[in-house]
């Protein structure tokens, strides 16, 4: 069974860490990552940039707003990783996805760190 583990924390606190504190957290995490990867249990994982770098596309009105998706009525149901050259291309892809799947919103947030992880058994490309 595949699970996604979603990481939540107080952003203003994390942004107040010194570089040394941030590095220390990342190196402690990498010990856990490495072991899970050796056991072929860890797929791709990512660290997102600050929410200040986010842009949100509200699908119904095609409304583009600065900042993260802040409504509480909707829930996070999935996400994509896309390789794009700029925000405009990202919004174009989001609009196309929105045509296929209307309702709600897409938040576009740049990825700060991408770890491809191990190939997890049973997840080979069809």
Residues of this chain that bind another protein (CB under 8 A): 10-19, 21, 24-25, 49-53, 55, 64-67, 86-88, 110, 112-113
State which residue, 7 or 77, has the beta carbon closest to another protein.
7
State which residue, 15 or 60, has the beta carbon closest to another protein.
15
State which residue, 39 or 86, has the beta carbon closest to another protein.
86
Q: What separation, in Å, do the N-terminal and C-terminal C-alpha atoms of the chain show?
A: 17
Minimal distance, residue 123 CB to another protein, in Å: 28
Burial degree of 80 (CB within 10 A; 0-12, 13-18, 19+) = exposed
What token pair was written down for 120?
Answer: 């997890």
Minimal distance, residue 126 CB to another protein, in Å: 33
- Which neighbouring-strand residues pair with 57? 64, 106
Minimal distance, residue 122 CB to another protein, in Å: 33
Q: Give the torsion sign (CA, 72, 74, 51, 41).
A: positive
């Amino acid at each position: 069974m595949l699970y996604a583990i979603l990481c939540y924390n107080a952003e203003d606190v994390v942004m107040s860490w010194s570089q040394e504190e941030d590095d220390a957290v990342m190196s402690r995490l990498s010990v856990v990552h490495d072991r899970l990867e050796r056991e072929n249990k860890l797929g791709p994982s990512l660290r997102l940039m600050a929410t200040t770098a986010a842009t949100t596309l509200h699908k119904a009105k095609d409304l583009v707003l600065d900042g993260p998706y802040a409504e509480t009525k909707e829930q996070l149901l999935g996400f994509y990783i896309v390789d794009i050259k700029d925000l405009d291309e990202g919004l174009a892809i989001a609009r196309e996805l929105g045509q296929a799947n209307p309702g709600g919103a897409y938040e576009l947030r740049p990825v700060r760190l991408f770890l491809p992880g191990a190939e997890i058994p049973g997840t080979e490309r069809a």
